[in-house]
Amino acid sequence: MNKQMTHSIDESVKVPLNKVMLQDCLEGMRALPDNSFDVAIADPPYNVSKGGNWSWDSSKDLPGFGGSWNKVMAEWDNMPLAQYLDFSMAWLAEVKRLIKPTGSIWVHGTYHNIGITNVAMQLLEVEIINEVIWYKRNSFPNLSGRRLTASHESVLWAHTGTAKSRKYHFNYEDTKELEFAGDLMKAAGKQMRTVWDVPNNKAKSELAHGKHPTQKPLRLSKRLLTVSAPPDAKILVPFAGAGTECVAAKEMGFDFLGFETDAEFVALSQRRLDAVEPSLNV
């Protein structure tokens, strides 16, 4: 495993906000001063582009699954295990440095990568607060018939402090009082559990300007911010993709900064951002 390199940062550097940078997140984050953000939402490569190439043609009329589907097969999503651990350690180390002690880190994953993320966090002494199970009621069926249908993903909620210094922001009362459309597990006045019933369907507006192969629903990103973002929060998005987390931040009135290495998806993110007005919708 590569040792983490230390580097000096000019603390007077102005943090760019409310844009998605066409830049590798490691390069971009290394140029930013410590404690610049309140919340990070990371949707890294899951390292899942292995095995056969699967797809489903929506013309075959499988009801309830929102159209055609294909397995992601991309070079950026296929690394040897040791390389993936090094990669995870590297970007998580920068996120840890950039998130305030009062802040939160959210990381998406599946069984392919979430265990490695967990180990990397523990090695970096990033304390995990909860593992959220995102239950996808309308998940795509298993076409091979060789295993159970995958119907959830994991989201790790962590903070940069320690067990003896827990300063992270938690909007407990808000999360308790709210209910969420489509979530059959959360009622108003009840504590939010670690299983979230969030359909993976996207509204037409979320796909109107294009789409990303691993795009998350906007309502999921908004819930992460509802749980953990303080007023006037600054949101860091290391892997912007289609810009969903940035759109969620803008709609909820927060500043944000995203990084993305694909020019096509940077342009898609900008089109989506240009189409929204800030609001306080959850």
**Residue listed under structure tokens 């097969």:** 73
Q: Which of 109, 132, 135 is nearest to 120 (CA)?
A: 109
**188, part of any domain:** yes
Does some domain include residue 50? yes
> Does residue 266 lie within any of the structural domains?
no
255 vs 66, higher pLDDT: 255
Task: Tell me if 265 is assigned to some domain.
Answer: no
CA separation for the pair 250, 271 (Å, rounded) = 13
Q: Which two three-digit tokens encode residue 110?
A: 């599946």
Q: Where are the alpha helices (DSSP H) in 99-157?
A: 114-123
Q: How far apart are CA 156 and CA 160, in angstroms?
A: 13
Instruction: Report pTM.
Output: 0.86
- State the burial class of residue 242 (Cβ atoms within 10 Å of its Cβ: 0-12, 13-18, 19+): buried
* Mean pLDDT of all residues in 2-24: 74
What domain range is 182 assigned to? 42-231
> Is residue 224 domain-resident?
yes
The tens digit of pLDDT for each residue in 87-99 reads: 999 999 999 999 9
Residue 2 inside a domain? The answer is: no
Of 75-84, 185-194, 236-245, the poorest mean pLDDT is in: 75-84
CATH number, domain of 114, equals 3.40.50.150
Task: Quickly state the pLDDT bin for 242 (edges 50, 70, 90).
Answer: very high
Domain count along the chain: 1
| pLDDT tens digits, 120-168 | 999 999 999 999 999 998 887 887 888 899 899 999 999 998 778 899 9
CA distance 123 to 117: 10
pLDDT digits (tens, 9 = 90+) for 29-63: 999 999 999 999 999 999 875 444 444 344 444 44
Cα 188 versus chain centre, distance = 25
At 13, list the tokens.
């550097």
Residues with Cβ within 8 Å of 275's Cβ and at least 6 positions away in sequence, in order, are: 205, 208, 209
3-state secondary structure of 217: coil
